[in-house]
Amino acid sequence: MTVGTNSSPGAAKAAGAPVLATVPQLAAPAARVPVQQPQGAPAPPSQARSAPEDADGHGEYAALGIDPDDLPDGLVIADATGRVICFNSAAARITALVAGEALGLGIERALPLEDLEGRRWWALTDPYGGLATRRGQPERNLLLPGGREVLVSARYVRTHPKGPVRRLVITLRGTEARRRTERSHAELIATVAHELRSPLTSVKGFTATLLAKWERFTDDQKRLMLETVDADANRVTRLIAELLDISRIDSGRLEVRRQPVDISTAVGRHVQALTANGQAPERFLVSVSRPLPDLWADPDKIDQILGNLLENAVRHGEGTVTIDVTPTSFANAAGKTEKGTAVTVTDEGPGIPEESMKRVFTRFWRGSKRGGTGLGLYIVKGIVEAHGGTITVGRGPGGGAEFRFILPVGAPAYLTQ
């Protein structure tokens, strides 16, 4: 980060603003311009030091314990005359400009920004000559020479309300994170559109056929069509529920309604449902190590976790599906050891390639082409973490996929006090 000043006492007086006692100076002395004081004015203690002392961390930022180079966003500060006095390393990286060359320049030359319509942004906003009631500019997309896009916001620091601007503080952010979010949203919309098209087409086709030719079909044919419509409607309902879960997880609004849960009973219920739907009972092996600690969790969310993991094991795996339920201890987010319950679901299929394991819990990841939205494991991870637990993926003893999640006891505070 390079810091300096080019403001003179005369210019500051002309602007009606007092000369500041300190200017942030944290870089090499060669990149700074020394601060000048009016003749006869006593220097405050913080400024009475030599320039090399200030470069060692003294000044406005050092007094706050902040180094501008430690900030994740770009920071550019101009003085009362519009000269750049701070240009941190993040700003240099984002703008691809040389920090040392920007110091001392007018803000319009250091950051020749234009809006998306090609208009000069500084001329439009006029921070020093515009309305004195303004406090800054909200973040917006602007362009640097060469078409480089940056997110820019500005803050006008005034000596007093409606007074002249004594500091212009600009923050800069790259657009990569926003573009990744936009791409993710576009992928989500495309996936939803694709997944909805098939069942809705089926529902529309069967209902239109039944309405037009009801008398021509036998009762068995009508029943088959209505069962197909019902299954497709359930598929649409499930997709909408997944979208709502993703929205709550991403916004941090996923609610967990804790109550006592018997995890072994929940596992047995899901295995019975799968066997009732045609899976061979001998394909499942359930092992429960007792005694298990009490578990306070959201029973509906636990069913969602178990249903997704077991369905994945049945659909994408092969051989025996083993479910182990054991007591365990683990380090929580605060680093303290906590009791919990571990559930491991293992199959004997081909497993997940090593290079794909880091992407298993991301959106749209699919282990095979056997259907699915690729959202289930992302939701499972969000639910487990909302309970304060952890989930991992690995390779089982038989070479298949192994998913293991741990849930803490999660008892209400009034039971633990």
pLDDT digits 0-9 by tens, 302-350: 999 999 999 999 988 889 999 999 999 888 777 788 899 999 999 998 8
Q: For residue 302, give both structure tokens.
A: 């636990």
Predicted confidence at residue 65, as pLDDT, reads 67
Contacts 24+ apart (CB under 8 A), 302-306: 302/261, 302/263, 302/266, 302/407, 303/266, 303/270, 304/379, 304/380, 304/383, 305/380, 305/383, 305/384, 305/405, 306/266, 306/267, 306/270, 306/343
Q: For residue 293, give both structure tokens.
A: 């600690």
Contact 294, 409 (CB under 8 A): yes
274: which residues sit within 8 A by CB, 6+ positions away? 284, 310, 311, 314
Per-residue model confidence as pLDDT tens digits over 100-150? 888 999 999 999 999 988 899 999 999 998 888 899 999 998 998 888 888
411: which residues sit within 8 A by CB, 6+ positions away? 294, 296
Determine how β-strand 284-288 pairs with β-strand 321-331. parallel
Q: For residue 147, give both structure tokens.
A: 């078409």
Residue 12, number of CB atoms within 10 A of its CB: 20
Predicted confidence at residue 413, as pLDDT, reads 61
Burial zone of 176 (CB within 10 Å; 0-12 exposed, 13-18 middle, 19+ buried): exposed
pLDDT means per 10 residues, the chain with 417 residues, are 45 38 38 41 34 37 70 91 92 86 90 90 91 91 87 92 92 82 77 81 92 93 93 88 87 90 95 92 94 93 94 90 94 81 94 87 71 81 93 90 92 63
Look-up: residue for tokens 């304060």?
388
Predicted confidence at residue 296, as pLDDT, reads 93
224-263 b/e (C-beta count within 10 Å ≥ 16 → b): ebeeebeebeebeeebeebbebbebbeeeebeeeeeebeb
Burial zone of 61 (CB within 10 Å; 0-12 exposed, 13-18 middle, 19+ buried): buried
Give the predicted TM-score (pTM) of the model.
0.59
Predicted confidence at residue 30, as pLDDT, reads 35
Predicted confidence at residue 63, as pLDDT, reads 60
CA distance 292 to 327: 5
Predicted confidence at residue 414, as pLDDT, reads 61
Note the residue count of the chain. 417
CA distance 111 to 105: 9
